Amino acid sequence: MDQEFSYFCYRCGGENSVNLPMPKAPEYHHTNLICSNCGDGTHILVSHCPSCTRYVYWINDISIPDLVGGFARYMVHNMQALIDKAAIQGATISIDTPDSYPISATCPCGEHLSIEIGIPDLD
Ligand SMILES: [Zn+2]
Ligand SMILES: [Zn+2]
């Protein structure tokens, strides 16, 4: 289900129009858009509302999935330090690492969307 998406470049203000796949939430499409005018790149995360024809999107200089992955790595590293410390004291802690990170949005139609960003396997 491709849909036309238009945005204005943050750097040069030029309008860009691209066709993007827009899967219904909780699925999403993430890609790097390149401005046809100045070549500046920006990341977009887009997801389609399951109840109406609208879509929601997040546009950013950095990749949200990379951010989630990087943050998850940081969290797991710090949890591991705690777990190791607890083990020395004779306690055991088991922590389930989630395999996805939900991001919520509300569509103008009132539908609450949640997309699930996969967290890379950190073992
Ligand atoms: Zn531009
Ligand atoms: Zn909607």
Report CA(88)–ligand 2 centroid distance (Å): 51
Report CA(101)–ligand 2 centroid distance (Å): 21
- pLDDT value of position 11: 92
- pLDDT value of position 116: 92
8-state DSSP, 62: S
16 within some domain:
yes
Give me the DSSP letters along 6-45: EEE-TTT--EEEEEEE-PBTT--EEEEEE-TTT--EEEEE
98 within some domain:
yes
- pLDDT value of position 41: 93
pTM equals 0.77
- Going by C-alpha positions, the residue among 30, 52, 33 that lies closest to residue 112 is 52
11 within some domain:
yes
- pLDDT value of position 37: 95
123 within some domain:
no
- pLDDT value of position 123: 61
Domain count of the chain?
Answer: 1
Measure CA 33 to chain center: 15
- pLDDT value of position 83: 83
Which helix (H) or strand (E) element contains residue 82? Answer: helix 64-88
Local mean pLDDT, 10-residue blocks, the chain (123 residues): 89 95 94 95 93 91 89 86 83 76 93 90 68
Q: Is 115 exposed, middle or buried (0-12, 13-18, 19+ CB in 10 A)?
A: buried
**Domain limits at 45?**
2-118
**Cα torsion through 64, 65, 67, 71, rounded to 10:** 140
71 within some domain:
yes
Report CA(37)–ligand 2 centroid distance (Å): 32
